[in-house]
Amino acid sequence: MKRFFLGAALGLFSTMVIGCGGGTEGDTDNDPPAGNPPQSETIAWAGTWDAALQYGVRCDHGFGNIKTANYTTQFTVALTGQNSALEAQTDVNYYMGGTGSNAKLDLSGTFPLKGSDNQKASTREDETDLSIKLTTVTDKNKASGTISGTFRSGFGANCSVENGTVTFTRN
């Protein structure tokens, strides 16, 4: 009688273990865990992108003369290179460098933002320190984030970017 109960208990235990994912037909070790989608393909950031920007600037024109402005604009950005060493060009002599991954794109350098005097930022790296950080990657063709930093405008005003947002959409 003890053997019957012991055999029945082991049979019940084995059925419970197998029924809880322990070796059912069709299972492979390559299946993603429940609730986690499979990894998407790697994003290659190189290519041509439309960059839509909204930003404010606060510019010091000297002697306490602070002026502000808000802009909504769009640029074409050409990204070249591998994700580990990207170069971006937006306009003649405006370059940024950085890196990208499936989760983000980080660029820094010069960008043709306008100051409160409606003049483009300097193309000189010693006068311009701008950063684009795309941290919301929708898919391989769209990402959004922020633009921030400082620059000297065409007439020499020292400007800082306020509340800058940017969305990249692949052409």
Residues 108-152 pLDDT 10s: 999 999 999 999 999 999 999 999 999 999 999 999 999 999 999
Pick the CATH number of 47-170 from 2.40.128, 1.20.1280, 1.10.3470, 1.25.40: 2.40.128
Is the overall model pTM greater than 0.85, yes or no?
no
Residues 6+ apart with CB under 8 A from 106: 98, 99, 100, 131, 132, 133, 134
38 versus 166: which is more confidently predicted?
166
- Kindly tell me the number of DSSP H helices and DSSP E strands found in the chain: 1, 8
> Could you give the CA distance from residue 154 to residue 22 in angstroms, rounded to a whole number?
69
So where are the chain's domains?
A: 47-170
Mean pLDDT of the chain: 83
Tell me if 135 sits within 8 A of 142, measured CB to CB.
Answer: no
Q: For tokens 């005097």, what's the residue?
A: 117
pLDDT for 25 equals: 46
